[in-house]
Structure 1
Amino acid sequence: MGGTIYLSKADVTAVEEEYVLNALRSGWIAPLGPDVDEFEAEIAERVGVKHALALASGTAALHLALLELGAGPGKVVVLPSMTFAASANAVVYSGAEPVFVDSQPGDGNVDPHRLVEAVDTLRAEGRDVAGVMTVDLFGRACDYDAIVPALEEREVPLLEDAAEALGASFHGVAAGAFGRAAALSFNGNKIMTTSGGGMLLSNDSGLVAHARKLSTQAREPAAWYEHREIGFNYRMSNLLAALGRAQLTRLDAMMERRREIRRRYVQALGDLPVRFLGADTGRSDASDNCWLTALVVEDDEADVTHVLSELTRRGIEARHLWKPMHMQPSMAGARTFGARQSEGLFRRGAALPSGSALTDSEVDYVIAAVVEVLAT
């Protein structure tokens, strides 16, 4: 098969072209404009929250949210070790110390019991816990039935990193609607994209209003440029918001295609020595957005690095799961509660091409390649 089969290529059609062209022709080329306002309103309605703030990245959303929660020097933020670097980097940006927690083996999401243990232990030691960040891994919401009540009882604010999970839900509540605030990402490989961008979500009007101010260099409402706080250049452009609005009209169809691809993988690869993340947790894929289909190789003699190398040689982009943050050189010395599960998932796990633009023949090619590689 000619060309590379990508992990999660952007799915763009004539709909996106129309929205972006209309934005161009409107004259709103400057950073803000009506498409930004509409995109914020549409995402807030989709997720079921009162307020949304369109930003340059999901990382920016996490950073601003952490600042609003009071994260800073002398404080700690508890978060999963199994996550992309942006989650932990945003904590460091705030000046707070990241403390990592191990995963559940079934779906890779944070272990709620370890999470609560970390909060209680840190507080018993006299540490100031600014908040807890959850990460909805690969498009599957965390176990918020176990997490939310425990944090509310302890009066610890929750920040939901739903960067990978737009369109997913947990018991009927949309990902992005949990906690004091949440962050979405519209990076190029996400389930829907604005090329680059993110969104801060919250029901707290004051939190979003202040974050909005900080995101535009903290300019005061004066006749000149007045700044009483340090701000950031974090806003989303009107053109990218137009692209996001178009993608949002197609989100349900793109999710269903990813779910269909996952079903094909599960059916075709079920006899191999692999398990699929989330498959044995008792929750249906219908509540996941199926951003990435991730499997864990259970053959002790299989070398996942070799498997991925062989898939790459065949023109297939497949990747290791996130390398746990406590194993990253940039986070050397960070405190961790548990490590075995996340380290095992990294060692044995892989994400397969999952994009909604994949053709049936491309999926067939990936399946045949995985079967061949694991059989040798």
Structure 2
Amino acid sequence: MTSVPPTDTAPDTTPAEIPEFPPARSAVCPFDPSPQMRDLAQRGPLTKVRSWGESTPWVVTDHAEQKALLADARLSAKFSHPGFPSPVAPDPAHQHAGNATDLSFVGLDDPEHARLRRMVSGVFTIKRVEAMRPVVQKMTDAFIDRMLDGPNPADLVQALALPIPSLVISELLGVPYEDHAFFQSNSKDIVSAVATPETRQAAHANLAQYLDHLVSEKLTSPGDDLLSQLGEQIKAGELTRRQAVAMGVLLLLGGHETTANMITLGTLLLLQHPDQLAVVRDTDDPKVIAFAVEELLRYLSIVHLGRRRTALEDIEIAGRTIRAGEGVILLGELANRDPSVFPDPDRLDITRDARLHQAFGAGTHHCVGQPLARLELQVIYPTLFRRIPTLQVATDLKEIPFKYDAVIYGVHQLPVTW
């Protein structure tokens, strides 16, 4: 962002001057990075922070430096590195044991990361995802019908935002949708920033046991779904059963939790900007909708505690030296508000070309499911506002429970009326 980076020869900040991280978001501007987060950007592209006791990882704020580092193989995504900057309070009993297997290829480096990722990436190609558009449209209309027939006001989270991506990822994986309450509840505990380590471990164990049972069924009675494909790779010796289960947990969790939060937060934001909402509602141009979705992804950046890495060797960047073993936190919400890339970045403008945003990350670890997330958002936003043109929030903005307590930002409930 607009600041002059200090040189590596400048004196390091004293321990008392190192800011605590993460800073609390501001309830006054719940859609924006907090003032303390913006202060980090004013310190320069890279600055040290204090996180979880004596840990002092680097925070990277600028777009260019983040893009370069996310593509740098000298940064490791492995959770097991002692210097890895955990987004939640670490469990002292397992602080360096890591959960790389638990979260599959997300917590691995190439070449193993690339090998496992290829086993599922074919399902999420743009061509295959686009073929699902009529199905997602039908689902969206069905859930809106149900919401209109139900109580008014309604909670948009439970009525629409959570069910649709849950149903979509369930059908892709081969997971029974009738189990959605079980996997949604455990997923919520896993992404909580305030849950105890024991609660998160138990939630993960619940999902792993559940997916292991499903994988077992697919091994003997395969179907036309992703878990069955992973079962075939187990039989071929290309994948262990534990790896298949971990991949299932990752895709089930990521496939509904992130998109659900983006649906509700984006809807709430558009309801605060009726002029831009009207464009989304009234256009029949898919390019206009696509641009609107990219701008919402840029503006909201729901992965709000950063992407985490550990340096494998010394890295010189922006006049600083990230030493081997040091943690690095790449703040996409600040990269997406970088004025050198996005003029007037704090203004929501659904006509801007925001495709350089880093809402889905960058480099080899960019989100594998981003084509599906984009499709769901492109269908749901315009359909919701066309079907319910009088939609409005049923309470004051200050009464809405934002997810300050989670690693994925959003709202716990969104009461709406029409």
TM-score, with length taken from structure 2: 0.24
Q: Which structure shows the higher helix fraction?
A: 2
Q: Which structure shows the higher strand fraction?
A: 1
